[in-house]
Amino acid sequence: MNKAQQEAYLREYSQAKKEGKSFFPYAIYKDHIVAILAFGWIIGMAIWHKVEIGKPVYAATTDFVPRPEWYFFFLFELLKIFKGQNALMPVIMATFIVPNVLMVLLLLTPFIDRGPERRISRRPIALATAVVVFASLAWLTHKGATSEAPTGEGPAIQNLTPEAEAGYVLFQDNACLSCHKLGGSGGVLGPDLSNEGSKAHGVQWHIDHLKNPQAVSPGSAMPAYAGFTDEEYQNLGTFLDGLGTKWKAG
């Protein structure tokens, strides 16, 4: 809007006010009706859908999906799309670039769109942007809401050496399955580990990765497992390094 358009707007608006009504009570009564409806909805939901409480931390169960409140689902879903498996889909897209671009665009909206037109029917670009943003958020949220909890113990694995067998027990006891798939079952936040061995990282790489995932795999969202004994690290590392090569999830 140039100077003349701004002045025209202000003139028009003060005319609208002159022909208008007092905020109290004509607008504020509508405000209160809607607020009371919102309160009613909240109390109703609190009564009919009693809040639950999950299992305590370190319950060593795997049948849960580590996921945030539903309004962050879209971010977690982005993380699944940009897994960093190849250079075109870097993790940083999901963890940094997309969210921050969205945030900056949000803050800067009024400085980007400065045209005088306010009717949405005459703002095709604004309308298209709104529809695309809303549809993608809704779609990602829906995907996040319907992703299923992994069930049970994890698959049977053949040909395990005793060392790897001990590693597999650790794997099952430390919620790894809630983020990783193994032979078809498990969570989806992290990569499928069924063929992890084929990457030939080596046992030491896995130990370093477990102790500090971010140091080995920059931008990783995986939690660090710093509390194992040296032997346990060795077992788990051995197990991971042979997955899909020396032993297969059935």
Partner 1 sequence: MSTTNIGPKGPAGQVGEAVVDYVEDRTGAKTGLTWFLKRNIPAETSWFQTLGFAAMAVFGLQAVTGIFLAMYYKPDPSRAYQSIEHITNDVTWGWLVRGMHKWGASAMIVLVFLHMARVFIFGSYKYPRELTWVTGAMLLIMTMFMGLTGYLLVWDEKAYWATVVAMNITASAPILGPYVADILRAGSEFNGDTLSRFYSIHMLAIPGGIATFIGLHLFLVAKLGISEPPHSHRLARVRREEEAARRAAARDRQPHGRRQVTPETSPQTISAEGGS
Range 38-67, binding partner 1 (CB under 8 A): 38-39, 41-43, 45-47, 49-51, 53-59, 61, 64-67
CA distance 246 to 239: 9
Instruction: Sort 94 into a burial class: Cβ within 10 Å, 0-12 / 13-18 / 19+.
Output: buried
Q: Considering only residues 146-185, where is the footprint of partner 1 by CB under 8 A?
A: 175, 178-179
Does 171 interact with ligand HEC (rule: CB under 6 A)?
Answer: yes
CA distance 72 to 100: 14
Does 82 interact with ligand HEC (rule: CB under 6 A)?
Answer: no
Task: Count residues binding partner 1 (CB under 8 A).
Answer: 94
Q: Which is nearer to partner 1, 135 or 156 (CB)?
A: 135
Q: State in angstroms the smallest separation of the CB of 2 from ligand HEC.
A: 50
Q: Which is nearer to ligand HEC, 67 or 142 (CB)?
A: 67
Q: Which is nearer to partner 1, 120 or 156 (CB)?
A: 120
CA distance 181 to 178: 8
Task: Count residues binding ligand HEC (CB under 6 A).
Answer: 26
Write the CB contacts of 174 (distance below 8 Å, at least 6 apart in sequence).
Answer: 60, 225
Of residues 187, 125, 118, 115, the one with CA closest to residue 150: 187
CA distance 36 to 192: 48
Q: Which is nearer to ligand HEC, 123 or 201 (CB)?
A: 201
CA distance 199 to 241: 8
Q: State in angstroms the smallest separation of the CB of 209 from ligand HEC.
A: 6
The answer to whether 237 and 204 are in contact (CB under 8 A) is yes
Task: Name the site residues for ligand HEC (rule: CB under 6 A).
Answer: 66, 171, 174-176, 178-180, 189-191, 193, 196, 199, 201, 206, 209, 213, 217, 220-223, 225, 236, 240
